[in-house]
Every structure is written in C-alpha cells, then in structure tokens.
Chain A
C-alpha cells in the first residue's frame, strides 16, 4: 500500500476517479497473479469439470452427468458462463475440457487459465463498485474501494481457494446500484439474473420482493397492476431464458434436485460460525448435564464432528432441525426488516437491508458455507463509510468473518498469506476510518461534505482541536473480543498441538466456529437494531 502514496499524487494531478479505481484493481491483480501457484481446493477441479462437462456434452446431459463426483449444482446461467469460458479453454488446451482425460488435470496451463478467468470475472465487481460509489465524494470512494477491491476474503476465497464470488457479488452490487438510483426495473432484472447464476443469493429475495412491490409497483390500482405485470414479465423472462431449455427437455425436476441437495445436513463439515453452532453445543452441554443427573441419554449415531450426517437425528436432547425449520427461522429473523421495507421503502436503505437478509441467511440457514459471509460483508462496506457507528461495526465484522474463513487454507504454505492479508486489511481499515471520521474537523469548515449529525458525532468522538491522540477508536468489549481472536488462533496453532497432540483434532476448528459465531451474532443484532431504529 505504499503505492497509494504514489497514486495520490497522480490523482492530485489528474483528478480522474476511474484511473484510480483501475489502479486499485491492477495492484490487486498483481497480487492475485503472484498467488497463482498457491493451494487450490477441490473447487478448482469442480469448476474445471464443469468446463469439460459443458463443453463436451449436449445441454440435455449437463444436469445428469456423473463422470466426476463434482456434478453441476449451480443454476443454468452459471453453466452457460462455464460453456462460454470453455470455448477459450479449448483453444488453449483441449485436454482441459476433456471429460475423462481432464479429470484432476493440473498442468500450468489449466491453473493459469482458470486463475485468469477468476481475475477477469472480477471486472463485474469492479463495475459494481464503481456504479455504487460514483456519486460519493473522493475520500469515501477511495475508502470503499480499498475495502472491497482489496478485500482479503475475496483474495482468499476466489484467488487461492478458487471460486467466482467476486463475479457474482459484482452482479449483486450492480443490482443494488440500480435500486439506489431508483431504476427499480433494472435492479430487479439484474437480481433475477444473479439468481440464475447462483441460487444461494435468493435469501434476499423477500427483501427485493417487498421493496419492489412497495417502491416500484405501489400507487393506484392501474399503475400498480401494470407495473407488477412488467416486473413479473421481466423476471419470468429471465428465468425462462435460464431454465427454459431444461423445461423443454422435461428435466426441471432433476435440475431442482441438483440445486437443492437437502440431504447434506444442517452444518457443513467445517461449521460456519452461525446460530446452529450454539444449538449443537447446547445440545451437547444439556446431554452432559442430564447424564450427570442420572438420565439415560442415548449417544446419537450421527455425529457432527465426524462430518457424517445421516437421516437419524444428530441431537441427543434438543429437537431435530429440518430444512423447513431453518427456512422459517430465516423468515422470522427477516420480518422486522421486511416490515421496515414495507412501511418506508427508501432507496438509500436497500444495501443495508439486503446485507441484513444475507446475515440472517448465514446465521439461520441450512448447510451454510463459511464463504457465504462474503455476501453481506462486501455490501456492508458501503454502509460502513456512512457513520462512525457503522464503521466500528464493520471493523469488527470484517475481521471476524475474514478470520472465520482461515480454516479454508489449512496448509502451512498459505499460513503467512492469510495472516498478512488480514493484518493489512485491518490496518488499512483503521487508517481509513480514522481519517474518514476523526480527521473531519479540518474539513468541517468546508460544509459541503458532512451532515450535521455526523459533525456532532465527530465532535463527541474525537475532541477536535484538543491534544488527544486522533484515531479510530473501538470500544473495550470489541477490543477484548479481538484480542480473544488472537488467543484462539495461538491456541489452535501452537498450544493445542503442543499440549494435546493429536487428541481432539477437531477442537481448534470448533473453537474458531464458536468464537466467530459470537461475533457474527453480535453483528446480526447490531444490524437488526440499526434497521429497527432507522426512520
């Protein structure tokens, strides 16, 4: 980030925000390129297999093929996207897209090709960020860009572990930017497209539905009805173009079965830090206490720590959780936000609401992946630049959620990379926020930028003009929590292997999930309160 310095001069001379955004992107790209030889998860082979599958099979067999265990389980647009990429893949190395010969193919060519596609597809993220921030002042812009374009989570998940989250979240941001501008129809259209790329984004669909209904379709029976028809038509057209061919072939049921594999169990092998972690732990705790008290408690056949979840209940005391229960919980958690959106559908609140929806989905959803925290951490970066309170919340949340994806990179080689990325992100956030919110007494004389409310906050927080050291300060409880994070990491990396050896090998991971679950739950409550309190 030394280079920012340099770039600031450039900006100073050219005053072109686009150049600066490109500069951010290219610096990130250099790091991504340097990460080419790093560890790749099975997701890499998953996507390679999808390239091969879409390239060598006719459409009718895409959702039936089982040559590789990594069957296609994303909606059709993503399959079309892979089909598009496979054209270039075929030009570069035909073996890459061969269904059988390509299995676990890992030459430099395939690695470089797939890594490059991940980098290039990030352009959609870049465009989304640009659209969402283009009306902000230059300080806020740079702050948000550094939070998103240099997001450590995206580096880890997309460019080491390997996925296309940047691309998909970029589409979400584009949709949000249309909504913020009041172009609801386009916003809804882009969101429908996003759902056809990855259906997990559907958690925010209720928010979109209520918001669009109230903001776009409301007002008079005739106008409302025609607008419902227009919006419905657009959404149906998008879904038809995605699923139409499969409907025509009569494969819709198979596609749906692939998209929603409910047999997978409540939690992923590594527990995402969500509400169900508490549920499982309290079940274990209750079972222990009751057994002590003399009750006869059966040890469940299926166990969470073994990663195997069959049909039998994995709980010994508490009732079993079914997908339907999680669905209801998510809806219940969402309801205050939906109510707000119904009462007062404001465009400037939409990012907050959508992020909240994804938080609910993450916290209460069925078989949630730890990576899903990206869905709300990235949109919340826009919210973070608004007030000091938001910034404080974001500071904690982004550190916690970035830490919670550490177990994705479990090999020693990548250890310094994930730690350095997180440290760098934290210090950049810290400098950015302290400059944004505590240095404003200088700019306060120029009344253009801040609202009165903000100026008050700045005044109370930073004692303008006083000798007190300026800086972005977080509260004591947050500080202790973050220090605890360091303790958890030291325990898992050094003390646990030293003291306990191979016994309870799952314990450090469990500890990370539980500890991070506290942070995410705090963030959820914080978001809920801020939404309920808002006008």
Chain B
C-alpha cells in the first residue's frame, strides 16, 4: 500500500483526486462503507418466500438449518430422524455450511430464542427474526468477503505494472458492488458471500505465489458450497501446471494433495467415524433426483429444451452421463492451456471458462449459480471491462424471474441503475482496446440486443403471457441470456488461448538478447 501512495496518478489534476489521494486503505474504507450501506438498504426488502407457507423459501431453509444445528448433536444433522425431517429443507450443503449455521444459530438463540426453537419455530417470521437473520449475512459478508477482496486487491495491484489508482478504486467498487451477489445474498437470502469470499482469498493466495494458502482457502470454499467445484478444473490445472514446472513436480503435487486431504479431513471430522455416515452426508449433497434443471435457467439444457425435450427423451442416468461429458469436454481447452502455460491472468480466465462450462452444461444448475462465473469476470473487470459489463447485465436479467417471485423488483432496478452509474465512465482507454464484442457482433446488433434487454424487462413486468404458453417470457429471457453467455465464454476461451502468444514472443526476445 505504501508503494501505491507514492505513485502519482497520471490524472491527478482531475476532480476525483481526493478519494484516491489518501491511499488504498482510505479508498477501500470509503467504498466498503458505501457497499455496506447498499447491502443494509437491500436487506430492508422482502426475502424469498416471505409470508408464503408451507415451504417458504431459502430464508426458511437457512433458518431451519440454524434450528437443526443448534438443537441436535453434530452426528444427526444430516440424518433423517423424528426430530430432523430431511424432506423439509434438510441440510444439503457440506459441513462448513452446517458449522456456519450453528454459529449463526447460537447468535439467534441468544438474542431471539423463539426464532430457532426446535419444531415450534418452523415458518417463524417476525420483525426481529428477519433483522437478526439479515445481520448474520451482513456480518459474514463484512468478515469474509470484504477482507478477501482487500487481500485480492492488494495482491493484484502490487505488481509494478499496475499503478493506476483510479483503476484500483474502480476495481474495488466492481467487486464490492456486484449487484447480483448483493441481490441474492441480502435480498433473496443466501450465504454466497462466504464461499465466494473464500474463493477470492484462494485466488489472491495463488496470485501472490502462496499456493498452499490458496488451496486451503479453496477447500474451505468447496466445503461451504459444493457449487464451488465449478472452479475446480481451473484450480487443479493451474496448480498442476505450476507444480510441473518446479524442480520436484511429484513432491509438490504430493504436498498440495496432502494439504487438501488434510483440510477436508478437518472439516469432515465429526463424520469420519464410519463409512456410512460419510455416505449419508454425501448423498445429501448430490440431489440427482431433482432432474437436469429446475425452473428456468439460462443454460444449454434449459435453453435447448424448447426444441428437444431432454427430460422425456433420456433417463436421469443417461442425462447425468451426457451432462458430465459435455461439461468435461467444454472445460478441457482452458484446462490444457493452464497445464501447458500457467499464468496469473490465464488462471482468472480459466476460472471464468470452467465455471461457465459447469453453468452451461452440468446437471442441476440453479439460476443463482450464475454468481460463480460472474466472480472471475469481476476479478477480470479491468482487463475486460466490456465483457464484465455485458455479462453482469445479462446475469441480472437471467435472475429477473426469480427476483420478481421474491418481490425484489424495486431493489433489482435500483441496483441495476447503480451498476450502470458505476460503469457510466469505465476505464475508457482499455475499453476501446479490448472490445471483442464490438468486432464480433457489430454495434448495431449490440444496440438491438440492448433494446431487447430493456423491452423484456418491461414486458415481463407489465404483460401477461398467453394462456397456451405460460412460461413464454421466461423462455425468451433464458434463451437471450444463454446466447450472450455462450458468446462471453467463447470470447474468453479464445482470449485465454491468445495469452500464450505475446508471452512466447517475449520469451523469444529474451533469448535473442
């Protein structure tokens, strides 16, 4: 940070010098406070399933987990019993989520015991209950996500080539004010900030060369939400690629492998006493019975089901196999690139690409999973400002039907506007340079797509779909988003492979010298 303070921003005579001039910490505190304010304001809005018995929504699920974990012994958390009815929002995330629920449950038990009382609190809704639940997310965000972002920023901007302070502030804002994450965590109600925070921390660790720290943090992310496995190919291939280039590759790989196993063992400790209990937990984590997709999600299976009725044509078993194969094939290119020539930038692209191939092709994807590919895209925001902007907009759209169900439209529109304002003046010299979309699509097409974007919002809010096709609008929205996501991931795959070229030419130059 000290270094950056000395570096004079080239644009120091512009009118926003004052926020930047006090150093990274002041910038971070200012933006962090603003981001917290936005989060608190969003948390005033309704949560998913508010006042909607008997199943309510994700809010009730999280509350129920707090109820279960604080009232039952660890071993029974994942076991169906008379006091733990797994068919009513049974725990279906890995143990770290359960521990987190336990800690938050203790907090609720202390201040508002009736909201987590066993049995009687089912469907509990109250002013204080909502408030404390909201505060559990806010505190997790402030304690895990925010420090992780700071760590990432410090590492990312410690490299001598990056000295633009305005860029740094812009990047912090992009990470902390990501509208999708705020809406899902503080509006809809989930704890993505924890697993994503661990992931950012892991990335920062790896970017700074501390692979061991990185892999431990990533294991924690994986143990909080199994969805973090979307990034697994990138982490695996990048670390493997790095190890292979060291002196004792096998030793390095072993070291990392042991560390990963150790972390997993530590997290899973209470369930390691028998194979059966491990299987019990594992079976909760993989809900294959729910079908290849639920609701409407902008991935390949849902988008193509307009033409091909996958669910009717194939059995669940064969669909599992098909989706698995498709996922692996699509993330192979980026994996190979990382094994061949691991690099920091390439790693971020690989994360984006592998997360996208999971989102687009894997089994049982939620619309909320778009947060996972969105994270590396945000970390790449300075390199790829246009992709970041375009992608975030369509990620928002892809969640719009969900948001409407949750009665969060006002918050959605305000956050979208805030996001556009934030981007209203992106780092322009870079935007021009790397605007892939413009060259591929042409500005007229892009303008047309944006028009569709706005019209779809209005149509969805104001019009009723024809009776024959009650989900017509959802299908249109998902297909539009799907097409844009495919474009983004194609562009980023190509970009990742192009990274090799300049590196090679530099090497050649060095050799010549």
Contact = CB atoms under 8 A, between A and B. Distances in A.
B169 A9 contact: no
B200 interface: no
A2 B45 contact: no
B414 A30 contact: yes
Contacts of A412: 128, 131
Interface string A1-30: 111111111111100000010010011011
Interface of B: 11-22, 26-27, 29-31, 33-38, 40-42, 44-46, 127-128, 131, 138, 166, 169-170, 172-174, 176-177, 410-411, 413-415, 417-418, 421-428
A387 interface: no
A439 B21 contact: yes
A534 interface: no
- Interface of chain A, helix or strand or loop or mixed? helix
A436 B12 CA distance: 13
Interface string A137-180: 01101110000000000000000000000000000000000000
A428 B15 CA distance: 14
A3 B17 CA distance: 13
A25 B328 CA distance: 48
B411 A5 contact: no
Given A428-B30, A431-B30, A2 B173 contact: yes
Contacts of B12: 442
A3 B40 contact: no
Interface size class of A (residues with CB under 8 A): 35 or more
A23 B420 CA distance: 11
The 8 A-B pairs with the shortest beta carbon distances in the complex, nearest first, are A2-B173, A10-B425, A8-B16, A435-B18, A2-B31, A34-B41, A5-B169, A33-B414
A31 interface: yes
Q: Give the most central of B22, B29, B170: most A CB within 10 Å.
A: B22
A434 interface: yes
13 contacts: A2-B422, A3-B422, A5-B169, A6-B173, A8-B166, A33-B417, A139-B18, A424-B33, A424-B37, A427-B30, A428-B30, A431-B21, A435-B17
A34 B30 contact: no
Q: Give the most central of A30, A33, A38, A138: most B CB within 10 Å.
A: A30
B97 to A, nearest CB: 25
A38 B411 CA distance: 12
Given A2-B422, A6-B425, A9-B426, A420 B33 contact: yes
A428 B44 CA distance: 25
Contact of B22 (A6, A27, A34, A434): A434
Interface in A429-450: 431-432, 434-436, 439, 442-443
A135 interface: no
Contacts of B425: 6-11, 13
Contact of B40 (A112, A416, A470): A416
A417 B40 contact: yes
A112 B414 CA distance: 13
B227 to A, nearest CB: 27
B427 A9 contact: yes
B421 A26 contact: yes
Contacts of A443: 13
Contacts of B15: 8, 11, 20, 138-139, 141-142
A12 B173 CA distance: 19
B180 to A, nearest CB: 15
Given A2-B169, A5-B19, A431-B19, A31 B38 contact: yes
A323 to B, nearest CB: 40
Contacts of A470: 21
B426 A417 contact: no
A112 B41 CA distance: 15
Contact of A142 (B16, B26, B30, B131): B16
A424 B41 contact: no
A421 B37 contact: yes
A296 interface: no
A35 interface: yes
Contacts of B21: 431, 434-435, 439, 470
Contact of B424 (A7, A141, A471): A7
B44 A413 contact: yes
A423 interface: yes
Given A33-B410, A34-B38, A9 B428 contact: yes
A36 interface: yes
B40 A420 contact: yes
A3 B428 contact: no
A443 B26 CA distance: 22
Contact of B26 (A9, A138, A427): A427
Contacts of B40: 416-417, 420
